[in-house]
Structure 1
């Protein structure tokens, strides 16, 4: 499998800058007409209770592997939004890129270290099927920006927005779950918990939830 990969570095928090980045993305295919993406495969038993849809902001604890049969259709468009160069963030970035390689995802990367809000705006301006966030520094800006972009789906991996709107889904585990400055977390932060296997599992479980419309929740994995 292979995918097309582009890197965009955000340098200024301006709508003009975001528009320019979107224009660059549109120049190689993202702006053209396309069939809406659909999931391939179904969620396995134990991902959610079959008789109830999770309530907004709920936390679900799927059975391990219940997401394994789900993948996106080829050409699924994803922006990987990154802030930070710490080891957990690097592990998440590697996991997203590996998943994209495995599933023939069309992946673009926005590095938002110099301008967090501008990075989020630039990512949404590219109109991907999904924005995947990696890095605790993005949590507070995401809480501010995502409610103004309800037509864009976001997946936060290894952290969560404290009061997510329906378009923001998170995947957490014991050792992750950062919720922003000044807020408590569901577990003690442990950088060592961001292993390659756990990060890869988190990406797949979170994408499976989004593809099946289970959004605005926290997916808790072992």
Structure 2
């Protein structure tokens, strides 16, 4: 085999590798990642542990539950779970929440799309809804007021607000937050208890996992309070 032949074969292999990478980057990866195709209704894989909610009383709409830490650990989304991460802002707390959601999506093999809605928040939310995901996760205080306006008109779409909450959520809006993250919008600004330092890696990870566990078990329209983390 001549040197020219060896070099040519090496070039062909390199081109094939680059083409494969480009296909994946363009969204031409596995069939389960193609959102133009139908997929099964998402289900919970695993069950909530003792202490997530009081088994004798179903949480009331707009109510608050304080789950036992780790009571959501055995709950995972079913294969092909589709999530849109909606973001606004570049502050440290928002970035911590974004990273937690991204890490969770990788660990759970979730199909994740991200929309940065830093300009027109309502337009960003509307775009996310149009993608028809199983869940829209919101990260960033700037989105709260826009969510309050839009979500009530799209009751079939589930939303999870991490690190904040909507003041008067409808049944399709769930929140995971804590004292240092209790932003509720309505022009009131951050509460006196707001603390950027409270957005730790552990608490942000708990916010997405506990919130998704609740949504998968149809415990929606509530606030999941994570002060014990």
Instruction: State the match for 1:148 in structure 2.
Output: 153
2:36 matches 1:31: yes
TM superposition score normalised by structure 2: 0.83
State the structure with more CA Rg.
2
Q: Structure 1 runs of 4+ off > 3 angstroms?
A: 4-7, 181-187
Q: Classify 1:218/1:129 alpha carbon distance in 2 versus 1 (closer, same or farther; 3 Å).
A: same
Instruction: State the match for 2:176 in structure 1.
Output: 171
> After superposition, what is the alpha-carbon deviation per residue over 1:133-160, rounded to whole angstroms, capped at 9, x for unaligned?
0000000000000001100000000100
2:102 matches 1:97: yes
2:224 matches 1:219: yes
Secondary structure in 1 aligned to 2:114? strand
Distance 1:209 1:186 in 2: 25
Instruction: State the match for 1:107 in structure 2.
Output: 112
> Can you give the 5+ residue segments of structure 1 that lack an aligned partner in the other structure?
8-27
> Can you give the 5+ residue segments of structure 2 that lack an aligned partner in the other structure?
1-23, 28-32
Residue pair 1:82, 1:133 contacting (<8 A) in 2 also:
yes
1:181: Cα distance to partner?
3.8
Residue pair 1:5, 1:108 contacting (<8 A) in 2 also:
no
Instruction: State the match for 1:16 in structure 2.
Output: none
Give the number of aligned pairs.
Answer: 199
Secondary structure in 1 aligned to 2:180? coil
Distance 2:87 2:198 in 1: 19
Residue pair 1:142, 1:161 contacting (<8 A) in 2 also:
yes
Residue pair 1:79, 1:109 contacting (<8 A) in 2 also:
yes
Instruction: State the match for 1:42 in structure 2.
Output: 47
- Counterparts of 1:123-134 in structure 2, within 5 Å, are 123-134=128-139
> After superposition, what is the alpha-carbon deviation per residue over 1:8-28, rounded to whole angstroms, capped at 9, x for unaligned?
xxxxxxxxxxxxxxxxxxxx7
Residue pair 1:81, 1:109 contacting (<8 A) in 2 also:
yes
2:198 matches 1:198: no
TM superposition score normalised by structure 1: 0.86
Distance 1:182 1:144 in 2: 13
Q: Classify 1:187/1:76 alpha carbon distance in 2 versus 1 (closer, same or farther; 3 Å).
A: farther
Q: Classify 1:97/1:171 alpha carbon distance in 2 versus 1 (closer, same or farther; 3 Å).
A: same
Q: Normalized per residue, which structure has more helix?
A: 2
> After superposition, what is the alpha-carbon deviation per residue over 1:48-100, rounded to whole angstroms, capped at 9, x for unaligned?
11111101000000111110110101221000000000000000000000000
Q: Classify 1:187/1:210 alpha carbon distance in 2 versus 1 (closer, same or farther; 3 Å).
A: farther
Residue pair 1:130, 1:153 contacting (<8 A) in 2 also:
yes
Secondary structure in 2 aligned to 1:107? strand
Secondary structure in 2 aligned to 1:175? helix
The structure with higher relative contact order (CA 8 Å, sep 6+) is 1
Distance 2:128 2:82 in 1: 11
1:33: Cα distance to partner?
1.8
Distance 2:202 2:67 in 1: 17
